[in-house]
Structure 1
Amino acid sequence: MGILGAIVDNSSRIGKEESVAMQIAVEDFLNTSNQRLDLRIRNSQGDPLQAAIAARSLINTDQVQAILGPQTWEEVSLVAEIGSKSHIPIMSLADATPVWATELCTFLVQASPNKLKQMEAIAAIVQRWEWHQVTIIYEDKDFSAPAMLSHLSDALQEVGAEISHYLAIQPFASSSLSEELQRLKRSQFRVFVVHLSLPVAVELFEKAKIMNMMEKDYVWIIMDPFASLVHSFNASTISSMQGIVGVKSYLPENESRFQDFRYKFHQRFSSEHPEEVNHEPSIFAAQAYDVAWTVALAMSKKKQGRQQIKSNILQSDFDGLSGKINFTGQTIAPAHTFQIINVIGERYVELHFWSDGRGFSETIGESDTFKSSMNALGQVFWPGGFGYAERMESTNNCQSTENWCSNHSNIQTICSSGTTLQELPFHLPYNFLPFDGTFDALVEQIHLKNFDAAVGSISILANRYQHAEFTAPYTESGLVMIVPVRSRTRQKAWLFIKPFTNAMWVLIGATSIYNGFVIWLIERNHCPELNGSISNQVGTLIWLAFSTLFSLNGNKLNSNLSRITMVVWLFMALVITQTYTAKLTSLLTLPRLEPTVVDVFALQNSNATVGCAGASYTSKYLEEVLHFRHNNIKNFSRSDEYAPALRRREVAALFLDLPLAKVFLAQNCKSFTMTGPTYNVGGFGFAFPRGSQLLPSVTQAMLKASEDGTLQDLEKKMLASQKCMYMDPEEDEHLSPSFSPSYFWVLFIFTGGTSSMALAIYIFRAYNSMSMSEHNVIWKLMMAVMKHRGNQRGRFSRKVSDIALTTPTISPNATEY
């Protein structure tokens, strides 16, 4: 008969379950193999010294061949030293045993699976809801905490998140716990990962509920050992944990062997521990059963020397209640599968399973479909109800998030509107606090991590990247020049010709003269005032060209041809006259402004003084890049100083960042304008500490707001509120251009064609009515022109005169049509 020792903490739920499970394992082994084992259990009460005393008693007095437990590393470290000296295998049930411990203590065996993969399951949950910062709450004296924190930090970084705050809890320090929770509440922390023992965790959640931290906008994630013991809580404790999500070790409860164990455990546990409200076994009971069974098998083999028992233990390979039992070195295989639970009502519900390398699934099995996220696997009940955590996020001292927007109303509007925050896939609580200092000093504070972020009109500059990182610019970037404006219509004497282009005026004159000539030619034999000397007739023709429509009534016209010509001419003149009147009216009523300075070279050549905002980089840019003299650059610390300085000619021009320039011009569009090129600079962005996990999400949110037009709409509304909209000089140049012939070419073709047709008909009919002698005169005239084309002008003129003297007068009756 072999003797097996065990050290448990019977004052804890885990110790009670382990004790009962070990007894059942020994009894089952007897029933299966017909080999009797004597189990000697000692109670350490969670005290490492008591555990060491119990180990010496078991070895020296009871002559045990192996010891199961204890459950904490503080106890295991003392027991392992005693066991190694006596060559007694110690089966550690602690959460994590360091590698060096098994190397130093050759008879120490890590029998509790390493659960560090649990950290990756937690990171997968954080990734699913796109949180980026979490707060970890752990016990100050927990030996397993360093390894757990390291693995959790690495797992979170893999999914783009980080541990923003560490809170170490002193066990059983009630006042300290309340103070720490109050500090967390004030600091706006929202996503918490809890790694605490059962009594400390219960106290934490009871106080959190009293402080209203178990409500909407809070997220709580628990892990082992606490998560695997949720089933043992009473109704009062469960009521303080509503909405908690847990990651617990997977326990194959549906297998027949486990069902048999559960039945036996329920009977024995309820009998030995009636004070417990729930008698269901947890993963710790199953692991204790498997460890006892493993040692029993090792001790049942021949040659049961202490060294041989250890060797037999490490060669174990079978399926236990908690999973596969095999060892690598002196350590049992780690756990790879975990269960996701959600506390709702009086118990918890099983949401999903998570397996290393495979992700989430609804069930466990070889044929199961695993998914990388929890999107399609059900709805989670968070504190406050379903769906409330969809836009949750913790922040690193969020109450200190800085905003220096007050000096510039446009930036303040963008900051306070929450446009970027609305595009984030999570909720980001924040508070705006003013910073009394320069932007360079503010960015340096970001470097010191005194603030989480800085928002406002912060220029993105190369030298600032040594202190912080920046989002993409949220406004148009560039440095522009603003100058006073003056009237473009100051030459008012010539304003009357502005409605039409020069070509239009020439065409109107030519058309009028041509139409006047046609009417004069047709009507000259009927109107005595159209005859007379050549100079008189030329003057009459010109007068007729521009005044016929107003002074010569249509009733006085004798020819239908001239009447048709005049009607078409009248229609064209009416349209042109009305257009001219309307255009001239607009020129007299609308302001026409132009910049007083057109480019930087004019300022440099005139040795003018220029102004800029107080930002140091602007002054440096003007001096080093645009080559203004240092003495010719004036810095302004306040935006209300810009306009008076320009009006009093203290500065000839003002250089501002484009967003600030737009706001200034929206308030002063009647007096100043933007001119010259836009000089490329970094633009405005938000600053974050280097390596901040929030930076990628905020940048992405800003780009979304820009791409869908939200930022542009916000800018338009902001500028419209100034009630003096900015007008680009180039746009003003084309608002009311002078009219060219291209606007009226149809009218000109119509009236010209009509006049030409009337003239052609008149000439044709006049020619037909001439006598033979008159035809001969015309023929001789044409021949003379052709014959003497190259002769001197005097001779040609005499020939023409001779012919003309013999030309009879055409009868007036010949032209009456």
Structure 2
Amino acid sequence: MEKKVNALMIISFIFLISFILGPPPQPAMAATPPKKNTTSVPVAVNVGIVLDMQLPGPQVWLSCISMALSDFYSAHDYYKTRIVLNVRDSKQDVVVAASAALDLLKNVKVDAIIGPVSSMQAHFIIDLGAKARVPIISFSATSPSLSSIRSPYFIRSTVNDSSQVQVLSSIVSTFGWREVVLIYVDNEFGEGIIPFLMDALDALNIRVPYRSVIRPMAREDEISAELYKLMTMQTRVFIVHMLPDLASKLFIKAKHLGMMSDEYAWIATDAIMNALNTIDHDVLDLMQGVIGVRPYIPKSQELTSFMNRWKKNYRQNNPSALNAQLSLFGLWAYDSATALAIAVEKSGNFSTNGFWDQDFLRNSSSTDLESLGISKNGAMLLKALLETSFTGITGYFKLDGGQLQSPAYQIVNVIANGAKEVAFWTSEKGIEKDLNSTANKISNTDKAISKSDLTIIWPGDKASPPKGWVIPTSGKKLRVGVPVKDGFFEFVNVERNSDNSSTVTGYSIDIFKAVMSSLPYAVPYEFIPWENSDGKIVGNYNELIYQVYLGVFDAIAGDTTIVANRSQYVDFTMPYTESGVSMIVPIRQNQQKNAWVFLKPLTWDLWLTTFFFFVIIGFLIWLLEHRINDEFRGPPLHQIGMVFWFSFSTMVFAQKEKVVSNSARFVLIIWFWVVVILIQSYTASLTSMLTVQQLQPTVTNVNELLKNKAYSTTLWMNYTSFSQLRAEMVALQLLLMRSPI
């Protein structure tokens, strides 16, 4: 018995030692990664969808959102959150859209809303989102007016319409058009871009003479009436900003009225070009030659794969929708859903009870808006959305200031049943032919191009761009007043014809016509002589110019003088002739042009003084040199001849004798300067005497002219009396006396 107890104690001790030391070592094996925890149930995050489900476009966009979530969670099946879509139909109505959003916030308590479709619907829904602190994500509301709401909970996952105004203005400026007419839909979507577009055009000195506003539900006769009005104007360049359905009606009527000919230029915004593939082919045939802009989406394998998969899946789920097309908004919807799924996962733990109810809201008499709670997850989700960035099927996705960054733009030309790429536009370089792009960066190494490098087929199947204007069939003409004069017909001359019409000619009229013909657009005008029944001028020039201020004339063409008092009423052009006071004087014939004319440049006193100094300089040099210089020594007659020879030879610098004394050299330096000045002055004076005629006025001042009454009658033909002329002449004299000249 004792042996059994001892054996049990030994066995127990061995097991105890084995437990402490651990199991024996095992052979080395390859490490296997831990399995992802797929047993936990993901947190359901409710997200609302507000779209116009009665339209084919939003149905396509909803399918893109569903595919985005399916693709995302298939690739990230270990994520702890799952977005649950709650779809509401806004039925193309602002009130219904707001009611649908209110239902999602109050009853479903969604953490985010994707939608709505239009900018008009977005306004009130954005206010609801701000009140409930729920992010409102719209991939199709592009109106710039939504940005002014300044709601931090509004996310625009599409491009703002205002980002394309620089592209449109650059196109107009490139082709040299100076006027353009804006055609847009009469709602918040159409009006939102107009202030930005007007500023961009004005910065390039491009005028907008008319803005054509068309109702969203305009009838065909209303569109025709508006187009007829445009046909009577001179401008032939139109920028169209409206949704594709209304644009289709517009281009159908424009084709019917002959406004798709070679004298018209049509430019479409991205609202039309983004959905160009959804427009009926018959309408596209009528839009041949239209150019437009749209955001540039770089091509990628992911984009091609998605479009192929979407087409296959959509046709399987919607067999009746054979002609459904995927627009750019569908691509943005896909990336928006992906961004939201990433942000939801990054936000961390979501509260199952997602809204706080306020105490005062428990009152049964409160309205639905008053009883709207505040989201617990909204602020956290908003922050995650703004920090989300990734490479999607449309390129680099990053929200800057709550909206998608403006990409490069693509300029396209409607040809056949599609759009042909013409050029690109970037904010750094403007319009350029080629664009090297990657997912995150657009290269700007290529040089900008001119309009001659753009290959465009314009309306009427023309390769050359339209000039942009024609002479209007009707409209107000520019009323140009002209003075009727009794003299100086070279400036303005009015002649009466046999049919009682007037023919206006003259230098001033020719300048006016040259200026008007150089304008890049037509300005009809007519010359109206300012005369009475006798064919005489009605008043003086001051009264004529004052008629512009009164609205009788639009402009004055004539020899009008720019003076201070007239500038208070009208604006003058730059002067095209020099003005001033001058007198006509006789030419004095110079009868003294004979063989001795070379003595005339200098007076006799100057001649004698010059001769005297030549002798003095010669004597002074001899005095300083003859004691130390052998060349200045010799017989007396030789030395006297040396004095005259040396001094006169310096006049042409022909002296050969060396000068040894420094004192003599100093004297010669000064003398050489005197000789140079004397020779140059003599040469200039002699040249003037031989070539220029001398003018000698017979009247030296105004007083002498008035005293002798030696004035021409044409000087005071515009004055009522001689006293008025005298007063003007006295004033002119005082002005000349005060002049610094």
Note whether the superposition's TM-score is higher than 0.5.
yes
Deviations 1:697-722 (A, max 9, x none): xxxxxxxxxxxxxxxxxxxxxxxxxx
Does residue 133 (structure 1) correspond to residue 179 (structure 2)? The answer is yes
Q: Which structure is richer in relative contact order (CA contacts within 8 A, separation 6 or more)?
A: 1
Equivalences for residues 328-339 of structure 1 within 5 A: 328-329=400-401, 331-339=402-410
1:243 and 2:243 are equivalent in the alignment: no
Letter in 2 for 1:30: Y
How many Å apart are 1:247 and its aligned residue? 1.5
Q: Please report how far the alpha carbon of residue 2 of structure 1 lies from its aligned counterpart in structure 2 after TM superposition.
A: 3.1
- Local SS of the residue matching 2:276: helix
- Does structure 2 conserve the Cα–Cα contact (< 8 Å) formed by 1:402 and 1:455? no
User: What is the SS of the residue equivalent to 2:260?
Assistant: coil
SS at match of 1:626: helix
Q: Using the TM superposition, name which of 451-460 and 343-352 deviates more.
A: 451-460
CA distance in structure 2 between the aligned counterparts of 1:231 and 1:452, rounded to whole angstroms: 49
Distance in 1 (CA, whole Å) between partners of 2:449 and 2:235 is 24
2:419 to 348, 353, 369: 348
Taking the aligned partners of 2:550 and 2:411, their CA distance within structure 1 comes to 39
Please name the residue that 1:324 is paired with: 396
Partner of 2:526: 433
* Residue among 225, 247, 252 paired with 1:179: 225
C-alpha distance in 1 between matches for 2:451 and 2:719 = 50
Q: Structure 2: how far apart are the matches of 1:191 and 1:359? A: 21
Aligned equivalent of 2:61: 18
Indicate yes or no: 2:240 matched with 1:194: yes
Give the equivalent residue in structure 2 for 1:223: 269
Offset at residue 195 of structure 1 (A): 1.7
Deviations 1:731-776 (A, max 9, x none): xxxxxxxxxxxxxxxxxxxxxxxxxxxxxxxxxxxxxxxxxxxxxx
- The one-character-per-residue Cα deviations of 1:396-424 (angstroms, maximum 9, x if unpaired) are 997433344683312586279x6446655
> What CA distance in whole angstroms lies between the structure 2 residues aligned with 1:212 and 1:459?
48
- Report if the CA contact (8 A) 1:90-1:107 is conserved: yes
Aligned mate of 1:293, from 324, 338, 350: 338
Counterpart of 2:72 in structure 1 is 29
Aligned-pair RMSD on alpha carbons? 4.5
Matched, 1:409 2:505: yes
Q: Which residue number corresponds to residue 382 of structure 2? A: 310
Give the Cα–Cα distance (whole angstroms) in 2 for the partners of residues 442 and 205 of structure 1: 49
Q: Does the 8 Å contact 2:471/2:524 carry over to 1?
A: no
Q: Deviations over 1:563-602 (max 9, x none)?
A: xxxxxxxxxxxxxxxxxxxxxxxxxxxxxxxxx9999877
Deviation at 1:503, TM superposition (A): 11
Larger helix percent = 1
Q: Which amino acid aligns with 2:522?
A: P
Q: 2:245 & 2:521 partners in 1: Cα distance?
A: 32
Shift of 1:215: 2.0
* Partner of residue 428 from structure 2, selected from 338, 341, 357: 357
Cα deviation, residue 160, structure 1: 3.0
- For 2:479, the aligned partner's letter is E
- Partner residue of 1:204? 250
Change (3 A) 1:163 1:460: farther
1:156 equivalent to 2:259? Answer: no
* Superposition deviation, residue 502 in structure 1: 12
- Give the match for residue 661 of structure 1: none
**Are 1:107 and 2:153 matched, yes or no?**
yes
Deviations 1:66-92 (A, max 9, x none): 210112232112223333444432113
Tell me by how many angstroms 1:262 deviates.
1.4
Structure 1: 5+ residue stretches without partners: 484-500, 505-595, 630-817
Deviation, 1:606, is 4.6
For 2:188, what is the secondary structure of its paired residue?
A: coil
One-letter identity of the residue aligned with 2:143: A
| Matched-pair identity in % | 25
Alpha-carbon distance in 2 for matches of 1:317, 1:25: 16
For the residue of structure 2 that corresponds to 1:45, the secondary structure is coil
Encode CA deviations 1:298-319: one digit per residue, 9 max, x unaligned: 2234312423322222221112
Q: Which has the larger radius of gyration?
A: 1
Measured in 1, the distance between the counterparts of 2:467 and 2:575 equals: 24
1:298 and 1:227 map into 2 onto residues whose CA distance is 31
Query: Does the CA contact (< 8 Å) of 1:435 and 1:442 recur in 2?
Result: no
Match of 1:381 among 438, 457, 467: 457
Opposite residue 288 of structure 1, the aligned amino acid is A
Q: Secondary structure at the match of 2:525?
A: coil
Q: How does 1:383-532 map to 2 (within 5 A)?
A: 383-386=459-462, 388-389=464-465, 391-393=467-469, 399-404=476-481, 407=494, 408-410=504-506, 414=510, 419-420=514-515, 423=518, 427-435=520-528, 460-466=562-568, 469-473=571-575, 476-478=577-579
Counterpart Cα distance in 1 of 2:399 and 2:331? 17
The answer to whether the Cα contact below 8 Å between 2:480 and 2:554 also exists between their aligned partners in 1 is no
Determine helix, strand or coil for the equivalent of 2:63: helix
2:55 and 2:566 mapped to 1: Cα distance? 56
Shift of 1:25: 1.2
Q: What is the alpha-carbon distance in structure 1 between the residues aligned to residue 103 and residue 208 of structure 2? A: 45
Alignment deviations for residues 228-271 of structure 1 (CA, whole Å, 9 cap, x no partner): 1222222331233222221112222x211111121123334556
Deviating more after overlay: 228-237 vs 54-63: 54-63
Cα distance in 1 for partners of 2:723, 2:322 equals 75
Task: Specify the code of the residue in structure 1 equivalent to 2:395.
Answer: G
TM-score normalised according to structure 1 size = 0.55
Q: Distance in 1 between matches of 2:555 and 2:250?
A: 30
CA spacing shift, 1:433–1:388, aligned 2, 3 Å = farther
Structure 1 residue 610 and structure 2 residue 682: aligned?
A: no
Assess, with a 3 A threshold, how the Cα gap between structure 1 residues 442 and 383 changes in structure 2: closer, same or farther.
farther
Partners of 1:618 and 1:325 in 2: CA distance: 83
Distance 1:50 1:410 in 2: 70
Distance 1:459 1:394, change over 3 A: farther
State the match for 2:213 in structure 1. Answer: 168
Give the Cα separation in 2 of the matches to 1:203 and 1:50: 26
The residue number in structure 2 matching 1:96 is 143
Cα gap change, 1:185/1:376 in structure 2, threshold over 3 Å: closer, same or farther?
Answer: closer
Query: 2:333 and 2:721 mapped to 1: Cα distance?
Result: 72
Is the CA contact 1:238–1:345 (under 8 Å) kept in the aligned structure 2? yes
Q: Secondary structure at the match of 1:163?
A: coil
Letter of the 2:204 partner, please give it.
Answer: V
Q: CA deviation at 1:458?
A: 5.8
Q: CA deviation at 1:222?
A: 1.5
CA distance in 2, matches of 1:614, 1:245: 60
Match of 1:6 among 36, 49, 59: 49
CA offset digits 1:343-390 (Å, max 9, x no partner) = 233322111111112222322424453444443632222234445436
* 8 Å CA contact 1:460, 1:470 repeated in 2: yes
Aligned pair in 2 of structure 1 residues 604, 387: CA closer, same or farther (>3 Å)? farther
CA 1:338/1:53 → structure 2, altered by over 3 Å: closer, same or farther? Answer: same
Structure 1 residue 13: Cα displacement:
5.8
User: Residue 508 of structure 2 contacts residue 557 of structure 2 at CA under 8 Å; is this kept in 1?
Assistant: no
* Closer/same/farther in 2, CA of residues 468 and 423 from structure 1, 3 Å limit: same
Query: Does the Cα contact within 8 Å between 2:235 and 2:468 map onto a contact in 1?
Result: no
CA 1:30 to 1:628, structure 2 compared with 1: closer, same or farther past 3 Å? closer
Q: 1:409 to 1:292 in 2, by over 3 A?
A: same
Letter in 2 for 1:211: L
C-alpha distance in 2 between matches for 1:194 and 1:225: 9
